[in-house]
Amino acid sequence: MNRSADWLHQAQADLDQARVSADAGHHEWACFAAHQAVEKALKALHLHLGQQVWGHGLGRSFRDLPPDTAATLAEEVADLEDRLRILDALYIPTRYPDSLPDGAPVDHFGRLQSEDARSHACALVEAIRSALAGS
């Protein structure tokens, strides 16, 4: 059974959560939810293509796509791999105080970071949605 539609649906819900979290001033959670949205959208694409993907690294997940699919996404999203790097860097420090030199994640992430993360995630999820619709 192919569950790619479920994963894409959850990716959209995670994007919604990123907005809600940012609006509530929880920018660290907005950043993490943006990462999760892209992780789940990439998982949806892999499943749609009959592949499994493991782990949380967005860059690796992208590189594990078939070359033609990866090229199509890269054509649709400017600076795609840099956007993935930005989001990948948010996976741990948005949640764990010991990943930062001092303070808690809530002290280190603000509106600019969450807006940036959400912008990248929206562009990536939309490109993946288009790729799924086109295949």
Q: 4-134 in CATH: which number? A: 1.20.120.330
Q: Determine the average pLDDT of the residues in 10-25.
A: 98
Q: Per-residue pLDDT tens for 27-50? A: 999 999 999 999 999 999 999 999
Domain ranges of the chain: 4-134
The answer to whether 105 and 28 have CB atoms below 8 angstroms apart is yes
What pTM, to 2 d.p., does this model score? 0.96
